[in-house]
Amino acid sequence: MKFDLKFSNRFRKMPAALKASAIYTSASFLTKGLQFITIPIFTRIMSTAEIGIVTTFTSWQTIISVFATLSLNTGAFNVAMLEYQDKRDDYESSILTLSTLSSSILLLFYLLTSKIWISVLGLSSNLLILMLIGFIFTPAMDYWLARQRYEYEYKKTAVTTLSLAFISTSISVVAVILASKAGNNDLGTVRIFTMCSVSIAFALPFYISIMRHGHIFFSKEYWKYAITINLPLMFHALAKHILDVSDRVMISSMVGESAVGIYGTLYSISSLSLIIWTAINASLVPYMFEKLRTQDTEKMNEIVFSLLRVYAVFAFCITLMAPEIVRILATEEYYSAIYMMPPVAAGIFLTSLYNVFANVLLYYKKTVYIMFATLGAALINIGLNWWFIPIYGYIAASYTTLVAYIFLAVFQYVALRYVHKETQFPSRHLLLISITTILLILGCNLLYEHAVIRYGVILAIGTFAVIFRKRILLLVKHVKSKA
Asked if residue 340 lies in contact with residue 263, where contact means CB atoms within 8 angstroms, the answer is yes
The 10s digit of each residue's pLDDT in 132-187 is 999 999 999 888 887 877 676 767 778 888 888 889 889 999 999 999 999 888 89
What's the chain's Rg over C-alpha atoms? Answer: 23
The 10s digit of each residue's pLDDT in 413-427 is 888 888 776 666 777
Q: Which of 359-391 are b and which e, b meaning 16 or more Cβ less than 10 Å from the residue's Cβ?
A: bbbbbeebbebbbbbbbbbbbbbbebbeebbee
The 10s digit of each residue's pLDDT in 209-259 is 999 888 788 888 888 888 877 777 777 778 888 888 888 888 888 888 888
Q: At what angle do helices 257-270 and 16-45 cross, to 10 degrees?
A: 140
Residue 475 scores a pLDDT above 70 = no
pLDDT given for residue 388 in this prediction:
93
pLDDT given for residue 2 in this prediction:
47
What mean pLDDT comes out for the span 65-91? Answer: 79
pLDDT given for residue 176 in this prediction:
93
Average pLDDT value over all residues in the chain: 83
pLDDT given for residue 201 in this prediction:
94
Residue 112 scores a pLDDT above 90 = yes
Amino acid identity at 142? D
Residues of the chain with pLDDT > 90, as a percent, come to 28
The 10s digit of each residue's pLDDT in 300-312 is 888 888 888 888 9
* Cα angle for residues 74, 76, 80 (degrees, 5° grid): 125
* Whole-prediction pTM: 0.76
What mean pLDDT comes out for the span 95-109? Answer: 94
Terminal CA-CA length for the chain: 29
**Contacts made by residues 442-451, CB under 8 angstroms, sequence distance 24+:** 442/342, 442/343, 442/346, 443/342, 444/316, 444/319, 444/320, 444/322, 444/341, 444/342, 445/339, 445/342, 447/320, 448/322, 448/323, 448/338, 448/339, 451/323
Q: For the purposes of burial, counting CB atoms within 10 Å of the CB of 116, is it exposed (0-12), middle (13-18) or buried (19 or more)?
A: exposed
d(CA 440, CA 405): 17
Contacts of 83 (CB under 8 A, 6+ apart): 225
Q: Which band of pLDDT confidence, cut at 50, 70 and 90, is reported for residue 28?
A: low
Residue 473 scores a pLDDT above 80 = no
